């Protein structure tokens, strides 16, 4: 590790200007055999890119990554310039800490130096007479004792002293203040009673940096015949700021304050009481740093320049450590953030900084002005990497023409295969004029092409899209920013791509559908220009309706899909409840998913025919097949039109069995469409998606207004609302969660909200206030244990006492197998069950619903799932309760009669499916459905269930 050493200090150096100073520094390094003379070029180039002035009269010159080849040995040298050297046209330095580092060792030096920068020491540095004085000045800063809100735990269920130790250690470890072994170093013999019920313990073993954790139990425990309720756990070390510790201990020794401390139940309030740092509950976003050499001076400077553009406060932490201002270069450097670590930015609420977060994240993702290699999270960290096995989807092995039927309907058209394209371009360029000219030519050519497209098309929508693209290309803000990149020495392609990508990502992160569409447009024009700059032939989508072929269609691709031009979708990966399938169904586009990666080998413009009902597709079908498909499509179209005509009529079988048909929505404004499609209720309002439409956590008032909108539009129809189901694959930007190895098996749904009861309470209050005695049904997601249901119900009962609501039913989602198995018990307590077959399938078959290869095998018609549904329905009906299905299975034509036969009372689905499902049910006989369901329960596989009645 590099350290500041008095042997490495050269006093009384003199230089007339910076160039001379750099020469002097290289001479010192050469003399000490750390570098060869060529290293001077590296130092000079680096200073030209951005000066290395750090603050307090100190500079930290170091070479560019390219100049590392001239380093013979890693080391640092300190040169004292008592007469000063003008460093960056503005600041004079008296000390240069010159670094020759083969990798990232210098980050530690920076961390050390930045601690010195917290004090006003430039005059003392100039006046220093000895190396000892200098090094002492740089090192004399005692390490701050960390104590912040996240190191405080209250209301802990501690039984004995070991519980206290464990809780304190967990917090200190989580924030990287201590390492393994700290817990066992805590010896109860060293406990000291500070005051009534407040005790302290301290150790310096396994301490990385000094910090204090405070753990307070819900009720005192007995320890040595005395009470212990609050433990102050001190992780100390030799450099710790003792005066800070003493100030804190004074508070605990003070009898008045200590009794207040013991009665305080809230960590936030307790933190305020003892003067701990408060971690504001601000909107946050996290990003992984990919810069090869970590957050060193140059990217940090870029970050500061960006954050300073915003008026609001922005703070940042590394991997759960303490927050520092993201507008201060020294503070950023003091983080010592290395490649692979995570930066979490938080922004002052209600300020421009909140909007700025996405821009900041995008900038970090793009390397803050440096070329970066993306981090491969799968990468093995050892040098001898075992070969990673690759598998193809099963769909590949059996046939070239089979996938999973994901969205009903027939479609054919020219293939439009989207493969990620590679653009090779130099990152830096020496001649701004040349680059500027290249950019002008590209802009001119692409604009001309767009004018031609507008002239050629008769379709108004297409005209509008391209007119908007022209406007974007003329946007002065865009041109200004790209020009700025050119001035910083970037090539035209790099400057263009950097700006477009960061602007698009910033836009996309806003979660607003309209803005997301604009991001897709930005990328569209971005790619056209980039292709021109790199001489890559543009990938132009066919004008006529085409079959879109991709690896997978993610939710963010929705914005790119032009429903008018995408006749069908064919993807290499995915299953029936994968996002690609849900997206396709929502748009009413026929789709086959999970067809294997060979579909990406289909040539652009080859005709492809897909059957979204059978999962079959044909490449280059002959004329007869196309003719047949056209007829079939017309027949289906006619059926759909007919079904739509009767979509308002109830779903009743020939033998007069009626089932309620409801809609799943995640956007309050989709209610109207659902009602128009024939929904008799909203069977699932995914409130986490409603939350996601807001930039910040919606207040109780905002939530109330949202829920009121849905209920108003429903005009008396029932609303089934699911409380927040955050976690798993659905993070909320303003509710940061600790990263987990298995998020689907972790803090998700009710498990999360029971740990944040104030969040659940607030949502329940908003719902009850919005209900106005209209039919409201509230259900809790991810219930797996009876205790969870009872705890959630208790919270609701408490809220209901304050906000009475007449027309309320309370139920649970059945999506964890344990809940289905316990249905006979749960049915006695709930008002209803709603079966989430997407998760029930995932958890029963132990297949990640989004797994690129396996999700195709996660078929909800597997007999094991049907058995669980059967058991749930029987239990519910025994106690007079109703059961709905709200997973994707509810709209699967093969599943509808089976689910009816199993006796479910409600089917809830994407509203586009409602007319056809209602029409299908009107053709069924309930007694036949019961026979079919009975047969299905006897089957041994999903395939045999699907084959029934075929």
Binding site for ligand PEP (CB under 6 A): 684, 686, 725, 815, 836-839, 886-887
Q: Where are the beta strands (DSSP E) in 635-790?
A: 651-652, 658-665, 682-686, 719-722, 776-780
CB of 717 to ligand PEP, least distance (A): 19
Q: Please, which residue, 347 or 814, has the CB nearer to Mg ion?
A: 814
CB of 684 to ligand PEP, least distance (A): 6
Q: Which does 887 bind (CB under 5 to 8 A by kind): ligand PEP, Mg ion, none?
A: ligand PEP
3-state secondary structure of 171: helix
Task: Identify which range of 54-62, 716-724, 735-743, 836-844 contacts Mg ion by CB under 5 A.
Answer: 836-844
Region of 512 please: left (phi>0), alpha (psi -120 to 50) or beta.
beta
Q: Which does 870 bind (CB under 5 to 8 A by kind): ligand PEP, Mg ion, none?
A: none
Q: Which does 894 bind (CB under 5 to 8 A by kind): Mg ion, ligand PEP, none?
A: none
Q: Please, which residue, 497 or 748, has the CB nearer to ligand PEP?
A: 748
Query: What's the residue count for the chain?
Result: 950
Query: What distance in Å separates the CA atoms of residue 368 and residue 301, rounded to the nearest whole number?
Result: 9
Taking CB atoms, the residue at the shortest distance from ligand PEP is 836
Q: Which of 579, 657, 805, 862 is catalytic?
A: 579
Active site residue 296: yes
Q: Please, which residue, 44 or 664, has the CB nearer to ligand PEP?
A: 664
End-to-end CA distance of the chain: 71
Instruction: Count the site residues for Mg ion by CB under 5 A.
Output: 3
Place of tokens 């440096």: 370
Which residues, 6 or more positions from 511, have their beta carbon under 8 angstroms from its beta carbon? 692, 693, 695, 733
Strands laid side by side in the 591-593 sheet: 404-407, 591-593, 566-571, 546-550, 410-417, 607-611, 616-619
Distances (CA, A) of 214 to 41, 267, 675, 880: 52, 9, 54, 50
Q: Which of 62, 148, 293, 657 is catalytic?
A: 62
Task: Identify which range of 64-72, 388-396, 637-645, 830-838 contacts Mg ion by CB under 5 A.
Answer: 830-838
Q: Which of 131, 283, 836, 852 binds Mg ion (CB under 5 A)?
A: 836
CB of 856 to Mg ion, least distance (A): 19
Q: Which does 698 bind (CB under 5 to 8 A by kind): Mg ion, ligand PEP, none?
A: none
Which residues, 6 or more positions from 305, have their beta carbon under 8 angstroms from its beta carbon? none
Q: Which does 845 bind (CB under 5 to 8 A by kind): ligand PEP, Mg ion, none?
A: none
Q: Please, which residue, 132 or 729, has the CB nearer to Mg ion?
A: 729
Q: Which of 296, 469, 497, 657 is catalytic?
A: 296
Active site residue 886: yes
Q: Which does 138 bind (CB under 5 to 8 A by kind): ligand PEP, Mg ion, none?
A: none
Can residue 319 be called a binding residue for Mg ion (CB under 5 A)? no
Nearest residue to 62 via CA among 32, 105, 91: 105
Distance from the Cα of residue 672 to its chain's centroid: 30
Can residue 815 be called a binding residue for Mg ion (CB under 5 A)? yes
Q: Can you read off the two tokens belonging to residue 64?
A: 């560019």
Q: Which of 264, 521, 839, 870 binds Mg ion (CB under 5 A)?
A: 839
Q: Which does 837 bind (CB under 5 to 8 A by kind): Mg ion, ligand PEP, none?
A: ligand PEP
CB of 839 to Mg ion, least distance (A): 4
Nearest residue to 48 via CA among 29, 30, 63: 63
3-state secondary structure 301-370: HHHHHHHCCCCCCEEEEECCCCCEECCCHHHHHHCCCCCCCEEEEEECCCCHHHHHHHHHHHHHHCCCCC
Q: How many CB atoms lie within 10 A of CB 151?
A: 26
Query: What distance in Å separates the CA atoms of residue 13 and residue 126, rounded to the nearest whole number?
Result: 12
Q: Please, which residue, 414 or 860, has the CB nearer to ligand PEP?
A: 860
Query: What distance in Å separates the CA atoms of residue 204 and residue 271, rounded to the nearest whole number?
Result: 23
Q: Which of 233, 647, 805, 886 is catalytic?
A: 886
Helix and strand element counts for the chain (H, E): 35, 30
CB of 621 to ligand PEP, least distance (A): 35
Can residue 888 be called a binding residue for Mg ion (CB under 5 A)? no
Beta pairing partners, 201: 233
Q: Please, which residue, 837 or 844, has the CB nearer to ligand PEP?
A: 837
Strands laid side by side in the 324-325 sheet: 284-288, 342-347, 314-318, 324-325
Q: Can you read off the two tokens belonging to residue 348?
A: 């002052």
CB of 566 to Mg ion, least distance (A): 27
Active site residue 851: no
Q: Please, which residue, 61 or 836, has the CB nearer to Mg ion?
A: 836
Q: Which does 886 bind (CB under 5 to 8 A by kind): ligand PEP, Mg ion, none?
A: ligand PEP
Can residue 817 be called a binding residue for Mg ion (CB under 5 A)? no
Nearest residue to 619 via CA among 402, 420, 404: 402
Q: Please, which residue, 612 or 836, has the CB nearer to Mg ion?
A: 836
Q: Can you read off the two tokens belonging to residue 183?
A: 């817990």
CB of 686 to ligand PEP, least distance (A): 5
Q: Please, which residue, 213 or 869, has the CB nearer to Mg ion?
A: 869
Active site residue 469: no
Q: Which does 686 bind (CB under 5 to 8 A by kind): ligand PEP, Mg ion, none?
A: ligand PEP
CB of 584 to ligand PEP, least distance (A): 16
CB of 813 to Mg ion, least distance (A): 6
CB of 860 to ligand PEP, least distance (A): 8
Q: Can you read off the two tokens belonging to residue 541?
A: 């989508």
Q: Please, which residue, 660 or 839, has the CB nearer to Mg ion?
A: 839
Give 6's DSSP letter: G
Q: What is the largest CA-CA distance in the chain?
A: 102
Can residue 688 be called a binding residue for Mg ion (CB under 5 A)? no
Task: Identify which range of 318-326, 570-578, 588-596, 814-822 contacts Mg ion by CB under 5 A.
Answer: 814-822
Residues marked as catalytic: 62, 296, 579, 886
Q: Which residues sit at the interface with Mg ion, rule CB under 5 A?
A: 815, 836, 839
């Amino acid at each position: 590790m590099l350290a500041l050493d008095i042997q490495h200090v050269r006093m009384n150096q003199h230089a007339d200007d910076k160039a001379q100073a750099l020469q002097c520094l290289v001479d010192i390094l050469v003399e000490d055999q750390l570098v060869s003379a060529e290293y001077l070029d590296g130092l000079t180039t680096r200073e030209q890119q951005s000066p290395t002035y750090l603050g307090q009269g100190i500079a930290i010159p170091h070479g560019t990554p390219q100049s590392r080849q001239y380093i013979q040995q890693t080391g640092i040298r300190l040169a004292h310039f008592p007469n000063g050297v003008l460093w960056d046209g503005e600041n004079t330095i008296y000390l240069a800490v010159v670094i020759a580092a083969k990798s990232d060792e210098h980050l530690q030096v920076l961390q050390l130096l930045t601690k010195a920068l917290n004090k006003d020491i430039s005059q003392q540095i100039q006046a220093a007479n000895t190396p000892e004085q200098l090094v002492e000045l740089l090192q004399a800063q005692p390490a701050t004792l960390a104590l912040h809100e996240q190191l405080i735990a209250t209301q802990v269920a501690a039984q004995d002293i070991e519980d206290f130790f464990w809780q304190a250690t967990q917090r200190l470890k989580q924030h990287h203040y201590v390492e393994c072994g700290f817990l066992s170093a805590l010896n109860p013999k060293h406990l000291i009673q500070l005051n009534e019920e407040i005790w302290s313990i301290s150790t310096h073993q396994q301490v990385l940096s000094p910090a204090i954790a405070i753990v307070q139990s819900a009720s005192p425990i007995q320890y040595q015949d005395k009470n212990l309720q609050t433990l102050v756990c001190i992780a100390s070390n030799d450099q710790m700021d003792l005066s800070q510790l003493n100030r804190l201990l004074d508070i605990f020794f003070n009898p008045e304050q200590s009794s207040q401390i013991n009665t305080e139940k809230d960590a936030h309030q307790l933190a305020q009481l003892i003067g701990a740092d408060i971690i504001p509950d601000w909107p946050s976003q996290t990003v992984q740093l990919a810069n090869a050499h970590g957050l060193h001076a140059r990217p940090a400077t870029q970050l500061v320049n960006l954050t300073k553009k915003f008026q609001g406060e922005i703070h940042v932490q590394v991997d759960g450590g303490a927050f520092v201002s993201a507008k201060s270069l020294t503070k950023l450097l003091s983080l010592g953030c290395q490649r692979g670590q995570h930066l979490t930015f938080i922004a002052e609420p209600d300020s421009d900084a909140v909007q700025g977060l996405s821009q900041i994240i995008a900038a970090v993702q793009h390397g803050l002005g440096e070329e970066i290699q993306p981090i491969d999270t799968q990468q093995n960290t050892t040098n001898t990497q075992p070969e990673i096995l690759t598998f193809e989807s099963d769909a590949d092995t059996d046939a070239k023409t089979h996938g999973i039927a994901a969205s009903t309907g027939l479609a054919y058209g020219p293939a439009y295969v989207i493969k990620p394209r590679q653009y090779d371009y130099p990152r830096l360029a020496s001649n701004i004029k040349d680059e500027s000219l290249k950019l002008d030519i590209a802009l001119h050519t692409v604009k001309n092409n767009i004018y031609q497209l507008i002239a050629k098309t008769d379709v108004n929508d297409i005209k509008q899209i391209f007119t908007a693209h022209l406007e974007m290309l003329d946007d002065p803000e865009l041109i200004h920013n790209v020009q700025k990149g050119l001035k910083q020495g970037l090539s035209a392609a790099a400057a263009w791509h950097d700006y477009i990508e960061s602007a698009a990502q910033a836009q996309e992160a806003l979660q607003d559908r309209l803005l997301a569409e604009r991001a897709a447009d930005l990328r569209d024009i971005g790619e056209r220009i980039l292709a021109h700059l790199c001489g890559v032939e543009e990938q132009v989508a066919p004008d006529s309706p085409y079959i879109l072929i991709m690896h997978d269609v993610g939710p963010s691709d929705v914005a790119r899909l032009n429903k008018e031009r995408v006749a069908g979708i064919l993807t290499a990966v995915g299953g029936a409840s994968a996002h690609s399938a849900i997206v396709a169904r929502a748009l009413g586009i026929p789709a086959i998913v999970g067809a294997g990666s060979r579909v990406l080998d289909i040539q652009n413009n080859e005709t492809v025919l897909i059957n979204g009902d059978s999962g079959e597709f044909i490449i280059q079908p002959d004329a007869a097949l196309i003719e047949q498909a056209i007829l079939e499509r017309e027949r289906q179209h006619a059926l759909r039109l007919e079904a739509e005509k009767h979509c308002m009529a109830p779903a009743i079988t020939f033998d007069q069995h009626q089932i309620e048909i409801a809609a799943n929505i995640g956007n309050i404004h989709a209610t109207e469409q659902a009602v128009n499609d024939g929904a008799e209720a909203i069977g699932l309002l995914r409130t986490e998606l409603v939350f996601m439409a807001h930039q910040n956590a919606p207040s109780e008032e905002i939530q109330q207004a949202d829920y009121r909108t849905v209920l108003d539009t429903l005009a008396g129809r029932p609303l089934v609302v699911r409380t927040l189901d955050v976690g798993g694959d659905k993070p909320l930007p303003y509710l940061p969660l600790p990263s987990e190895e298995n998020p689907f098996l972790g803090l998700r749904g009710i498990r999360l909200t029971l740990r944040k009861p104030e969040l659940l309470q607030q949502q329940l209050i908003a719902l009850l206030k919005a209900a106005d005695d209209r039919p409201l049904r509230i259900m809790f997601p991810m219930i797996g244990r009876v205790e969870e249901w009872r705890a959630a119900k208790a919270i609701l009962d408490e809220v209901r006492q304050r906000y009475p609501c007449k027309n309320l039913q309370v139920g649970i989602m059945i999506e964890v197998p344990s809940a289905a198995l316990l249905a006979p018990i749960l049915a006695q307590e709930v008002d209803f069950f709603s079966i989430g077959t997407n998760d029930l399938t995932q958890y029963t078959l132990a297949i990640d619903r989004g797994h690129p290869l396996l999700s195709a095998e996660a078929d909800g018609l597997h007999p094991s799932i049907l058995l669980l549904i059967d058991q749930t329905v029987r239990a519910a009906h025994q106690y007079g309760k109703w059961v709905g299905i709200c997973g994707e299975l509810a709209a699967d034509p093969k599943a509808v009669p089976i689910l009816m036969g199993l006796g479910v009372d409600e089917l809830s689905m994407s509203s586009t499916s409602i007319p056809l499902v209602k029409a299908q049910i009107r053709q069924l006989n309930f007694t036949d459905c019961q026979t079919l369901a009975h047969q299905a329960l006897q089957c041994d596989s999903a395939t045999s269930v699907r084959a029934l009645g075929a």
